[in-house]
Structure 1
């Protein structure tokens, strides 16, 4: 029986268990308060909390199924959108910054069969990903011989200037806690790209609280030496594979792509 890769989900199953478990707990408390202790106000409060958690859990489950590889496939489609904007011949080296469970790294390996790739991630305790999971996924997908995985910090990449021919990153920069200004994470990612190399980054670039005025930021990057750079914001409003119910501030809002040539 062939194994399937485990790429995880942007909505972790742990969150679903906690949400539905909390709803069940408040339902039991509501029943106890109303039937065993005749405490109607407490029963009503617990019933309301149960209903709220249940509704939230149903919503998050719908998002989970939408994102899931092999089901709604939205995560895969987001990755495909990023790779489609990477104008590269595939000869040389590529870095995936914040590779998670390596779905984007592996997609790049398949799209560029002559490339040597590095997947880098912090793999902190708060994430359901690990280096061993990445290596297993790469082996299952038949590309392990061309991908190297290592731990690192996206705000302080452990590579010399102009090390890679290409760099990609997907919904990572805003999660980098070691950098207060997320624009510095973008600059750090561009630092390791060779002169003439290419890049494609997707993140919540249209959220001004994270990146400020992106048009102004693009002009700054041009002045700093990036020869070609393009920005498209609010992609969730234009990409037909992003359903309306995930275009919320707590899910995907302000999605943008920054791509070009150094």
Structure 2
């Protein structure tokens, strides 16, 4: 059995845009053949045709993004990001790591494979917005990878159910920008709260100023608080992707916050 980490752009999205493009295109053509007054016909057919073009554009984007993110495709961007983020996570002998928003378990498992001497815990809310992701999927993927040092639980990134300084490492990938109505820097602080002194962290997300505020100031604050090492790495300048690729995919501003507490 092979691991199935899913695609960030599901097949259902591509199918929906394909159907929408075809139906609206056909409707526009049919309207042009009706007995409506020419002016009304032009307005209605034009509106429906514009909808078909919009659906077509979204179809083109979703097909492009699906190919980029596919684990079995040529680009394998998701895999590159996951494995590149996992490189910053180190567990001591018998140590414990936490992956916040584990989804299909990809990053949790990647960290566990790199740290067989420790154990990784993945948590996620697995809400209806991501119905194809589940705890069972994570466990199945872990089994498929031959990894036995993982565990998965339902959890809330806004309020982690763990005491201060509980984990030897914490990580997350493209999670916090999806959480609305919450200060993103507070989410980072909550994640770092459960990290032990001397523990490693790697948090990757779309850390644009509009979403996260002044992240350079946040880095300075962590250093002032005594963090041993803090670095903010732009991952759209060739680290994981090019700026053009990031812009097309809607990932502009992607950055890795890494270091040691």
TM-score, normalised via structure 2 length: 0.91
The match for 1:236 is: 236
Shift of 1:176: 2.3
- Residue range with higher mean Cα deviation, 236-245 or 217-226: 236-245
**2:17 maps to which residue?**
19
Q: Secondary structure at the match of 1:44?
A: helix
The alpha carbon displacement at 1:202 in A equals 0.6
Counterpart in the other structure of 2:194: 192
Q: How does 1:47-66 map to 2 (within 5 A)?
A: 47-66=49-68
State how 1:1-262 maps to structure 2 within 5 Å.
Answer: 3-38=1-36, 39-71=41-73, 72-88=75-91, 91-127=94-130, 128-143=132-147, 145-177=148-180, 180-205=182-207, 207-233=208-234, 235-239=235-239, 241-242=241-242, 244-248=244-248, 251-262=250-261
Greater than 6 Å deviation, 4+ residue runs: none
Counterparts in 2 of 1:90 and 1:58: CA distance versus 1, 3 Å: farther
Counterpart Cα distance in 2 of 1:203 and 1:166: 17
Equivalent residue pairs, number: 255
Q: Could you tell me how far apart the structure 2 residues matched to 1:218 and 1:89 are?
A: 25
Q: CA shift at 1:30, angstroms?
A: 0.7
Query: Are the equivalent residues in 1 in contact too, given 2:92–2:118 (CA < 8 A)?
Result: no
Using the TM superposition, give the Cα deviation of residue 40 of structure 1 relative to its aligned residue in structure 2, in angstroms: 3.2
CA RMSD of aligned residues (A): 1.8
